[in-house]
Amino acid sequence: MVKANAFYAQSGGVTAVINATACGVLQTAAEHKDVIGKVLVGANGIVGALNEELIDASKESKRAIAGLRTTPGGAFGSCRYKLKPYAEDPREYQRLLDVFKAHNIRYFFYNGGGDSQDTANKVSQLGARVGYPLQCIGVPKTVDNDLPITDCCPGFGSVAKYVAVSTKEAALDIESMCATSTKVFVLEVMGRHAGWIAAAGALAREQAGDPPHIILLPEVPFKQQQFLRRVKATVAEKGFCVVVVSEGVRFANGKFVGESGAAKDAFGHAQLGGVAPVIANLVTSKLGYKNHWAVADYLQRSARHIASATDVEQAYALGRAAVKLAVAGKTAVMPTIVRTNDAPYRWKIGEAKLSRVANIERFMPKSYISKDGFDITPKALRYLRPLIAGEDYPRYKNGVPEYVRLKQQRVAKKLPAKW
Amino acid sequence: MVKANAFYAQSGGVTAVINATACGVLQTAAEHKDVIGKVLVGANGIVGALNEELIDASKESKRAIAGLRTTPGGAFGSCRYKLKPYAEDPREYQRLLDVFKAHNIRYFFYNGGGDSQDTANKVSQLGARVGYPLQCIGVPKTVDNDLPITDCCPGFGSVAKYVAVSTKEAALDIESMCATSTKVFVLEVMGRHAGWIAAAGALAREQAGDPPHIILLPEVPFKQQQFLRRVKATVAEKGFCVVVVSEGVRFANGKFVGESGAAKDAFGHAQLGGVAPVIANLVTSKLGYKNHWAVADYLQRSARHIASATDVEQAYALGRAAVKLAVAGKTAVMPTIVRTNDAPYRWKIGEAKLSRVANIERFMPKSYISKDGFDITPKALRYLRPLIAGEDYPRYKNGVPEYVRLKQQRVAKKLPAKW
């Protein structure tokens, strides 16, 4: 193998552990100096490659690189940017090739979800198309847990833990208050299409009947009357009701429940989003119960302070595996998590072809959703439970976590800015 | 001193550490068996006394009592219930007296915020009025940090830590995304009248200029144009803007910014609350930036998993001090936190008369608010910083915190249910 540089970038919505994957990539690349020279990191994902904005990872201290393992967000910047098919716009691909050639990049690691694996797949075809030796490895990441083939996706375990812990804590709060005050609490979590994150709310339970009492998934059309009956019965029995709702829950006609067309706020602007307030208002107006609601949004996916140790370990291992695959001469593949046992939980690293991963979303299977559609099954719990196991606390200073900041020193540009 | 039973109850919005105070009360009472018999706990606050729903704390295991120190919410149930003045409705007071006499209760510990201290104060007057020997001790608690005299209120340090940590983490998230996507993040936190909780967002910063870039306090009337200019300038300079907003922020005319009278949701119901979406929509409609917003609600005040060790210690110490005051023969007082040094932080326990505490709200002083009204001052930071110091993690089982559940065994009733 000829020694060459590697490109790495972070793409799509970031997570509490995507930097742990970066840490795995960078530390493992450093172990293979015979074949991998520098790792040049795209500032803000693939956009950094297109703009020749490359960060020289070798300029970061070993301490900073190690600190990535406990730092949330995307330390090199991420992007929402999808390459068009080659036939539609070959210029982008030509530019990528120019940048790779100019910086002697022959390894390409792209760290993201379904769209990002599509990008990695397209770039892998580019190398073959023009006869430029480029090894493309996709590295999985997404809180949505919706990549196919891999048993789970790094980032999900930590958001699942956040949702389970938050649900458990908020449930204790409302239980304390319900005798004379709030009766219904609604927590909105991410998941535009797949309900994995909302499902994780069920991990808050110690035993059957514990909160959350209702889980609303995007896979199940929202039925208002059945939902209200369930809330009423729960309050009658327990004194309070905790609901975890996916942002992506829809009516049978496909419309998002959170989309409230007629809403205008105090400034006269259309009200955007938030299914939790809509569900909470519905409950109060129809049943009269006082409600509280929360929208976790970015807090859930950036909550490194409550990350799952299992998730951190897998995120790191997948970054490490990606480099090992490249060094082994592989291309157009993505390392995966293969579960070999539920309890005790055992897993190993596998691999999948990018062509089988790109643009495919994995939803909650029917066997994971209870018959009435308001809960998950024991099978789903068995799948989810090990993913939140273990705590992996960051270091603290002055009462807040000590997260690393990188120097992000750019490599000198060699190409014209315009292309 | 004659040996008698004690009454303890939790009141008002619960916190991550009110049970640590309960733990302090119960463990310390057990050290004074010569004067304190059983501790009978009101189920759901003072309502438990009125309904003669008394929990026998002696039936709980030592392990469960110890576990209260790391369990959020109100383990005995709380209430939102305010006693009317004696002159308006003496029946409630007569009933309380009947219950106290029936159960030989001569110590009264009431754990709550301003309203609850008012209740404790009224009850203390009752004893004197009818010649029944009753020692009434208020025990402070409120995430709002708005009790007078005490340097800080238990519950606040932990919610402050939650807000600081969450702001820091979410800021790393948006910073990663801002090149091609979201530019403004708005986090709504509690604080209907006082801005202490929102102010704590500033503790996320390592250095000046770090996020949060704007803090909106209830003490400062919301000025739309200045706010938008500040957001625009921040995005121009930093690439993104993080806003922490108090739920209680108001326009100059006193109207809550979060109150959107005209709003109707998908079901045609009036939209209730949430200032974060209103602020976020304002930014997007006027400046065009993509936004994300979160409403922390109960998550912030129940987040025992990220409690401040300082707060936990003070919550426990105040429970302990309350019993010590009673044993020393005091009544109509509340133990307080007295700060003796900022850095290194040093504090001791003091005491305040209930009559000087009840119904008085402490707002952020002017010297804590920056001139432009969008930030806090170094003086405020000096005050806030030590309150979030230290971590005090609960134990975990199956990936979630192991919080105790009490048996809550009731004492046999001796009085008619009707009164």
Q: What architecture does CATH give domain A4-142+305-359+392-401? A: 3-Layer(aba) Sandwich (3.40)
Instruction: State the smallest CA–CA distance between residue B357 and chain A in angstroms.
Output: 24
Look at residue A60 in the predicted model and tell me its pLDDT: 98
Tell whether B301 is within 8 A of chain A (Cβ): yes
Tell whether A106 is within 8 A of chain B (Cβ): no
Cβ-defined contact of B204 to A401 (cutoff 8 Å): no
Instruction: State the smallest CA–CA distance between residue B399 and chain A in angstroms.
Output: 4
- The CB density around residue A143, as the number of other CB atoms within 10 Å, is 31
Q: Region B383-410: what's the mean pLDDT?
A: 98
Q: Region A315-331: what's the mean pLDDT?
A: 97
Look at residue B266 in the predicted model and tell me its pLDDT: 53
pLDDT in tens, B85-117: 889 989 999 999 999 999 999 999 999 999 999
Q: Which of A177, A192, A203 to mutate to test the interface with B (most CBs of B within 10 A)?
A: A177
Look at residue B359 in the predicted model and tell me its pLDDT: 84
| Interfacial B residues in 328-357 facing A (CB < 8 Å) | none
Look at residue B104 in the predicted model and tell me its pLDDT: 98
Q: Region B248-261: what's the mean pLDDT?
A: 86
Rounded Cα distance between B189 and A354, Å, is 42
Look at residue A5 in the predicted model and tell me its pLDDT: 98
Q: Which positions ≥6 away from A387 have C-beta within 8 Å? A: A152, A156, A157, A160, A161, A308, A310, A311
Look at residue B261 in the predicted model and tell me its pLDDT: 45
pLDDT above 70 (res A140): yes
Tell whether B296 is within 8 A of chain A (Cβ): yes
pLDDT in tens, A146-182: 999 999 999 999 999 999 999 999 999 999 999 999 9
**Could you tell me which chain A residue has the CA closest to the CA of B181?**
A80
Instruction: State the smallest CA–CA distance between residue B389 and chain A in angstroms.
Output: 4
Note whether A4-142+305-359+392-401 and A156-302 share their fold. Answer: yes
Query: Is residue B360 helix, strand or coil?
Result: coil
A290 contact residues in B (CB cutoff 8 A): none
pTM: 0.97
ipTM above 0.85, yes or no: yes
Q: Region A40-60: what's the mean pLDDT?
A: 98
| Facing B399 at nearest CB: one of A181, A284, A389 | A389
Look at residue A268 in the predicted model and tell me its pLDDT: 59
Q: Region B231-248: what's the mean pLDDT?
A: 98
pLDDT in tens, A342-390: 999 999 999 999 999 988 999 999 999 999 999 999 999 999 999 999 9
pLDDT class for A269, splitting at 50, 70, 90?
A: low
Clarify whether A173 is annotated catalytic: no
Q: What is the mean pLDDT of chain B?
A: 95
pLDDT in tens, A61-95: 999 999 999 999 999 999 999 888 889 989 999 99
| Facing B169 at nearest CB: one of A274, A292, A304 | A304
pLDDT in tens, B355-395: 999 889 999 999 999 999 999 999 999 999 999 999 999 99
Look at residue A82 in the predicted model and tell me its pLDDT: 87
Residue ranges covered by each domain of chain A: 4-142+305-359+392-401, 156-302
pLDDT class for A48, splitting at 50, 70, 90?
A: very high
CATH topology classification for B4-142+306-360+391-401: Rossmann fold (3.40.50)
Cβ-defined contact of B173 to A73 (cutoff 8 Å): yes
Query: Is residue B1 helix, strand or coil?
Result: coil
Q: By percentage, how much of chain A surpasses pLDDT 70?
A: 96
| Interfacial A residues in 354-383 facing B (CB < 8 Å) | none
Look at residue A406 in the predicted model and tell me its pLDDT: 97
Cβ-defined contact of B297 to A302 (cutoff 8 Å): no
Look at residue A270 in the predicted model and tell me its pLDDT: 52
pLDDT above 70 (res B270): no
pLDDT above 50 (res A419): yes
CA distances B20 to B25, B41, B223, Å, are 9, 15, 40
For residue A344, is the peptide bond before it cis, meaning its omega torsion is within 30 degrees of 0? Answer: yes
CATH classification (class only), B156-302: alpha beta
Helix (H) or strand (E) holding B35: none
Q: Is the dihedral angle over the CA atoms A100, A102, A106, A112 positive or is it negative?
A: negative
pLDDT above 80 (res A265): no
